[in-house]
Chains A and B, each alone.
Chain A
Amino acid sequence: MPTDVTIDAPRGDTVRGKSRAHQQDAWFRVLCFSAAMVLMATLAGLIVSLAIGGWPALSKFGLGFFTSSEWNPVTDNYGAAGPIIGTLVTAFLAMVIALPLAVGISVFLVEFCPAWIARPVGMAVELLAGIPSIVYGMWGLFVLAPWFAAHVQVPIMMHAAPGSFMDRWFSGVPNGANIFTASLILAIMVLPYIATVFRELLLSIPPYLREAAYGMGATPYEVVGNIMLPYIKRSAIGAVMLGLGRALGETMAVTFIIGNSHDLPNSLFASGSTIASTIANEFTEATGDMHISALIALGFVLFLITFVVLAAARLLIGRERV
């Protein structure tokens, strides 16, 4: 803005008023800028404080922290292989369950169903994302787990011949609190996030592509399978990673239902633990400094994993804001 504007202005109030307004604007700009910097500082502070807090454990146990599965507060020995593997396995299983469902839901809402159904059903799917994780946890523990134990786990275990494939992968304490039910809950929790992004992506496809395909005589299935899904592939992978990031760090629901054992999980129906559930369960009860440090080190590992996954997700999805 040219400064000579003020030359013609009458002396007194106007000049002073203007400069005061300009000063206010400058302060306002600085204020906005510092708020944005607070956000950056949060993330930086997060990683630095976790690294510092976890350093005693990481330096004492070294690689053993990642390879040993002996987590023993009594002898002050901490090997985190159990929770780390548990985190990766449950998140991966959750994605395997959620992905086909999310594709089905988004395709149904965009392509297969009449418009008057799409809106309420779309709302319902979004509501699923709004349910607090502690509610998922209670539902998992008191409703899903007993049902699962009685109607799925026990029948399978009874029919499995000793030593068979079934016996190897589907044995465990028949109370329904295990790796598989935790993954199932996680799948329901991340499903709405993935499905909503998929839906937005499908809606963003230029209409002429679909119309051209229909014009060639393709069936709805062929339009979806050959034209629409390939078109959104890249961003869709981003959406899946976004869901994965959520599944990796989900705490309360998993804590309720995974059974909380630090051993390496040896079957789908065995109890296990994740990084987040371990921290939630033990942090307030940890007495030794090394125990606390080991838990913070676990948090550091979780941060690194989720940061990489979430960053990749955002880069893949791009500015398609979700």
Chain B
Amino acid sequence: MALTVPGLSRHARRKLANYIIVGLATLATLIAVAALVMILASLVINGLGGINLHLFTMDQPPPGEPGGMRNALVGSLIMCGGGMLLAVVIGILSGTWLAEYGDGSRLAAVVRFLNDVLLSAPSILIGLFVYEMVVRPFHGFSALAGAVALAFLATPVVTRTTEDILRLQPNALREAGMALGAGKGHVIRSVIWRASGSGLMTGGLLGFARISGETAPLLFTSLGNPFLSFKLNQPMASLPTTIFQFALSAYDDWRQLAWAGALIIAIAVLSANIIGRALARGSKNT
């Protein structure tokens, strides 16, 4: 560990080594912050020019004509909404089981472990899975398949946050409920869940942040659709897949739309993240 610089006292050597390491650590932090600033700056610079009313009121255009991303925005909202609905129901219930019922059992340890693995599993594999499970048997890409794929991605996030939040609730709360004669399930539903309301919201928001920017699992489940569609059994456009298609195209106006779409997604995801974390911090402090 010792740096050997001739002509320096031991004390000076140690001080020098310290300065160098502190300098390097500062540099590493600066690099990360710079990366964030550069990415956000290029998003704003390239995307802001494309934000206008047309973006929200017109469907995707053929190259060279004016247009917007209404079909993609609507599709994303529908599929994220459907996915979140499924994920919140399954996630809160399974998180509740982990925290309140299965606690300490071997089965719960296994479920918890698998949930943690699912939490970081590659999203494209979820897409393949849903393709095999939903798209292939029903002979067609559909918005429903897209929503299911997104639900599989968000569920582990909701499960995990729910379990963490329920564990934060003091046992006195459970005991008080039981002492009044309520059964365990009753206590969980009307005392524990209510006490952890904002924490459960956090789980939902973090789950939403996880899926709203996801592209890979939608590529071969909901496919994409150049027209506005509300049919769940038909292919549906989504913001990320449309951005993917437009960004890799050779047309400048399509690329402009892609940047504007990317800016919208980034704002949505980052604000969901920030609000979710702020809520979590609030509920931990009280």
B120 to chain A: which residues have CB within 8 Å? Answer: 242, 245-246, 249, 306, 310
A109 to chain B: which residues have CB within 8 Å? Answer: 29
What 5 new A-B contacts, CB under 8 Å, besides A32-B97, A131-B39, A252-B215? Answer: A105-B28, A109-B29, A126-B273, A126-B277, A130-B270
Contact between B25 and A249 (Cβ–Cβ < 8 Å)?
Answer: no
B window 150-174: CB within 8 A of A = 152, 155-156, 159-160, 164
* Alpha-carbon separation in the docked complex, A52 to B129 (Å): 11
B: number of interface residues (CB 8 Å)? 94
Contact between A134 and B25 (Cβ–Cβ < 8 Å)?
Answer: no
Contact between B114 and A248 (Cβ–Cβ < 8 Å)?
Answer: no
Q: Chain B binding site: helix, strand, loop or mixed by DSSP? A: helix
Q: List 26 A-B contacts (CB under 8 A).
A: A21-B182, A24-B183, A36-B98, A39-B94, A39-B115, A42-B118, A49-B133, A104-B27, A108-B29, A109-B29, A121-B33, A130-B209, A130-B270, A132-B265, A133-B216, A135-B213, A142-B42, A188-B35, A225-B1, A249-B124, A251-B123, A280-B124, A280-B219, A284-B223, A296-B132, A303-B121
Q: Chain A binding site: helix, strand, loop or mixed by DSSP? A: helix
Contact between A25 and B39 (Cβ–Cβ < 8 Å)?
Answer: no
* Alpha-carbon separation in the docked complex, A321 to B156 (Å): 14
Q: Which of B110, B132, B266 contacts A135 (CB 8 A)?
A: B266
B window 81-139: CB within 8 A of A = 89-91, 93-94, 96-98, 100-102, 108, 110-111, 113-118, 120-126, 128-129, 131-133
Would you call A139 an interface residue if the criterion is a C-beta within 8 Å of the partner chain's C-beta atoms?
yes
Contact between A296 and B128 (Cβ–Cβ < 8 Å)?
Answer: yes
Contact between B269 and A251 (Cβ–Cβ < 8 Å)?
Answer: no
Would you call B80 an interface residue if the criterion is a C-beta within 8 Å of the partner chain's C-beta atoms?
no
A: number of interface residues (CB 8 Å)? 91
* Alpha-carbon separation in the docked complex, A242 to B32 (Å): 19
Contact between A283 and B117 (Cβ–Cβ < 8 Å)?
Answer: no
Contact between A222 and B213 (Cβ–Cβ < 8 Å)?
Answer: no
Q: Which of B27, B110, B126, B219 contacts A284 (CB 8 A)?
A: B219
Contact between A35 and B18 (Cβ–Cβ < 8 Å)?
Answer: no
A window 116-138: CB within 8 A of B = 121, 124-128, 130-138
Q: Which of A126, A134, A249 contacts B265 (CB 8 A)?
A: A134
* Alpha-carbon separation in the docked complex, A109 to B91 (Å): 33
How far apart are B270's CB and chain A's nearest CB, in angstroms? 5
A299 to chain B: which residues have CB within 8 Å? Answer: 124-125, 128
A46 to chain B: which residues have CB within 8 Å? Answer: 121, 125-126, 129
Contact between A142 and B29 (Cβ–Cβ < 8 Å)?
Answer: no
Would you call B227 an interface residue if the criterion is a C-beta within 8 Å of the partner chain's C-beta atoms?
no
How far apart are B191's CB and chain A's nearest CB, in angstroms? 13
B185 to chain A: which residues have CB within 8 Å? Answer: 24-26, 28-29
Contact between B17 and A132 (Cβ–Cβ < 8 Å)?
Answer: no
How far apart are B130's CB and chain A's nearest CB, in angstroms? 9
Would you call A195 an interface residue if the criterion is a C-beta within 8 Å of the partner chain's C-beta atoms?
yes
B window 25-79: CB within 8 A of A = 25-29, 31-33, 35-36, 38-39, 42-43, 46
Contact between B14 and A139 (Cβ–Cβ < 8 Å)?
Answer: no
Number of A-B residue pairs at CB separation under 8 A: 275
Closest to B155 in A: A39
Given contacts A22-B183, A284-B219, contact A132 B93 (CB under 8 A): no
Given contacts A22-B183, A40-B110, A128-B32, contact A251 B216 (CB under 8 A): yes
A window 170-202: CB within 8 A of B = 188, 191-192, 195
Would you call A220 an interface residue if the criterion is a C-beta within 8 Å of the partner chain's C-beta atoms?
yes
Given contacts A25-B184, A31-B93, A107-B25, contact A130 B124 (CB under 8 A): no
Q: Mark B184-211, 1 if CB is under 8 A from A, else 0.
A: 1110110000000000000000000100
Contact between B262 and A138 (Cβ–Cβ < 8 Å)?
Answer: yes
How far apart are A108's CB and chain B's nearest CB, in angstroms? 4
Contact between A124 and B132 (Cβ–Cβ < 8 Å)?
Answer: no
Would you call A96 an interface residue if the criterion is a C-beta within 8 Å of the partner chain's C-beta atoms?
no
Closest to B261 in A: A134
Would you call B254 an interface residue if the criterion is a C-beta within 8 Å of the partner chain's C-beta atoms?
no
A107 to chain B: which residues have CB within 8 Å? Answer: 25
Would you call A62 an interface residue if the criterion is a C-beta within 8 Å of the partner chain's C-beta atoms?
no
Contact between B17 and A104 (Cβ–Cβ < 8 Å)?
Answer: no
* Alpha-carbon separation in the docked complex, A255 to B87 (Å): 28
B213 to chain A: which residues have CB within 8 Å? Answer: 131-135
Would you call A166 an interface residue if the criterion is a C-beta within 8 Å of the partner chain's C-beta atoms?
no
